[in-house]
Amino acid sequence: MVAKVKNLLNRDGRYFSRLVIPKELRPFLDNKTELREPLGADRRTAIARHATALAGLQAKIAVAERKAQIAKGEPITPGRYPLPVDQIALRNYNERLAFDDLLRNSGPQWASASIDDLHVALLRDGIAGNLNDTALERLVGDRIERYRRLGNTTVVNGSDEWRTLARALCMSEYEALARVAERDQGDFAGKPDAPMLAKAVEIDEVAADVKVSEFNNLTFEAVIQEKERRTGNGLGGHVKSDATLKKYRNAVHDFEQFRRSKKVATVTLEEGEAWRDGMLEAGALSRKTISDKLAAIRAILGWAQDQAKGRLFPNHPKGTPFDHLDMPVAEETDSATRTYSLEQARIVLKAARARIDKPNFRWIPWLLAYSGMRVGEALQLDKTDVFELEGHWFIHVRVGNGRTTKTKKARKIPVHQALIAEGFTDFVKNLPAGRLFPGGTAEDQRIREWLHDGPLKEMEDAPPPNHGFRHLFEDALFGGVSHKVALYITGRASGSSDDDYGGSDLRLLELAAQMAKVRDFLAVR
């Protein structure tokens, strides 16, 4: 008869570590009744990694207990879910490297920061046992306290057990710093040399390889590509713009670097919380940016769950692990900080007027200023998109055949009199057939760099032209332009069923009459 292993579950030939969640903690764990960790179909392998998997589940319950105790105002009791010293050291090592990834993603300054040689020397002394308890407390006491609060240890300062854990954490910190130094040279393949930590890493990697499921090889990029394919065929909602998908892919890159995995099926709520908290603590990104990154990952997980017909996350059949992730509340910002002042607008327009050597620099800032177009929309314009009707000029911002807008709808914008007086229509007339502006999407960045390094170099807080001019133009629409027309001209969806982008010739003439109310920024009144 096969011996029964506590908390090891067999369901249809597949093994799981399982813990029942106490009723009082379920509100803090998505109202689930139990936690499971898949161990694969082989019993011997499942038993081999059961203890590690069970410790991970216990850690989740420990976090829920902390939240419950904090909610009740009760003191936190350490030691409910102890881990072996080597597993604590491994957890600390992985957390340090994950935080290093986060800092490197936040900007180039971290990679150029030098490692404190004195700190390294102290860690060596700690590993060797040459430091007293006071010195060890200063060195790794905060890390020991962290794992006490997670329920992983009950060691008390002054005991042999405390010193054993302190020395192991010194070794963990030392090895993590060694990896940081290697990464500064571009080497991200390093592994720890210390025997205890090297063995723990090996066991952890073997355990990770055992996790096999129908969706084990599903990656974030595969999910995004499938979403593109489906929406391209008219399925699964609206097509996302290239700019939005680029932001999503950037968020995916950061998240994959943080968790050191591209696999979607293994994502957990705890990883999302750790990533969020790490970004907040690093202080390199605004709360809105952090919230946008988390929202991007949550959206992609939702796509993946839909594509898998709800089978990707068995514990969340109607959702994903990120559905209960608390999002940072964005700071209240003054819209003026994202809008050019009249002085800034005039500086840019006058500087653009002088750039007859480069059509993109010469005309795109003027188009943004007097039409509310986005840079990407301007870059897509063709000579045939600029046309005349009964003495009025218009620009047709199209969609389809490789062109797109944020709302996926086309619109026709009256050409402002200031643009005509500046010579824009003459510029178009003299061009050969084809696109008005050379270059691709990178031109957006080139224009931004030219302005910030040139005309606006003395103004460090100047917003990028895409937002700076667009918001200023929207403010100019307050000069008597109707709200509905303002939404149409700037390409914003009103949510009304009668948006009907395009319209008849009569509508265009009425739009031209409304555009005549928009002031000329260079004219002083």
Q: What is the pLDDT of residues 349-376, one digit of tens each?
A: 888 888 888 888 888 888 888 887 888 8
Residue 233 clears pLDDT 80, i.e. is over it: no
pLDDT at 73: 65
Are 367 and 490 spatial neighbours (Cβ–Cβ below 8 Å)?
no
The 3-state DSSP class for residue 313 equals coil
Degrees to nearest 5, angle at CA 489 with 483 and 495: 60
d(CA 150, CA 65): 9
Residue 298, pLDDT above cutoff 50: yes
Evaluate if residue 162 carries a pLDDT over 70: yes
pLDDT at 186 over 70: yes
**Which of helix, strand or coil describes residue 11?**
strand
| Common-topology check for domains 220-324 and 336-515 | no
The CATH fold of domain 220-324? DNA polymerase; domain 1 (1.10.150)
Look at 452 and 119; give whichever has higher pLDDT.
119
In the prediction, which pLDDT does 136 show? 95
Mean pLDDT of all residues in 379-401: 84
Q: What is the pLDDT of residue 402?
A: 67
Give the residue-averaged pLDDT of 478-493.
71
Is the distance from CB of 364 to CB of 375 less than 8 angstroms? yes
- Would you state the pLDDT for residue 120? 92
Question: Taking Cα atoms as reference points, which of 312, 278, 315, 316 lies closest to residue 294?
Answer: 278
Span 19-28, average pLDDT: 88
Question: Which of 394, 404, 402, 460 shows the shortest CA–CA distance to 428?
Answer: 394
Q: What is the mean pLDDT of residues 375-397?
A: 85
pLDDT at 332 over 60: no
- Least trusted range by pLDDT, from 39-53, 182-196, 276-290, 480-494: 480-494
pLDDT in tens, 45-57: 777 777 777 777 8
Query: Which tens digits make up the pLDDT trace of 496-516?
Result: 545 555 467 787 887 878 787
CA atoms lying within 13 Å on the CB side of residue 135: 14
Q: What pLDDT is attached to residue 208?
A: 43
More confident of the two residues 276 and 242: 276
Cα 34 from Cα 191, distance rounded (Å):
35
Whole-number Å distance between alpha carbons of 506 and 392: 12
The β-bridge relationship of strands 34-40 and 386-389 is unpaired
Q: Which carries the bigger pLDDT value, residue 172 or residue 354?
A: 172
Nearest-angstrom CA–CA distance, 82 and 413: 66
Maximum Cα–Cα distance across the chain: 95
Q: Please report which confidence band the pLDDT of residue 6 belongs to, taking 50, 70 and 90 as the band edges.
A: confident
* CA-derived radius of gyration, the chain: 29
pLDDT surpassing 80 at residue 213: no
Greater confidence (110 vs 140) lies with: 140
Q: Tell me what the mean pLDDT of segment 295-314 comes to.
A: 88
Kindly state the average pLDDT of the residues 189-207: 71
Is the pLDDT at 59 greater than 90? The verdict is no
Of 123, 260, 256, the closest CA to residue 178 belongs to 123
Confidence check: pLDDT of 1 > 50: no
Neighbours of 399 (CB within 10 A): 17
Rounded average pLDDT over 471-484: 73
Q: How many CA atoms lie within 13 A of 66 on its CB side?
A: 17
Terminal Cα-to-Cα distance of the chain (whole angstroms): 95
Domain ranges of the chain: 8-72, 85-210, 220-324, 336-515
Average pLDDT of span 262-284: 86
What is the pLDDT, as a whole number, of residue 525?
A: 45
| pLDDT of 75 strictly over 70 | no
CA-wise closest residue to 421 among 378, 370, 472: 370
pLDDT band for 317, please (50, 70, 90 cuts): low
- Topology (CATH) of 336-515: hpI Integrase; Chain A (1.10.443)
pLDDT at 294: 93
Question: Does 124 or 200 have the greater pLDDT score?
Answer: 124
pLDDT band, residue 137 (cuts 50/70/90): very high
* pLDDT of the residue at 212: 39
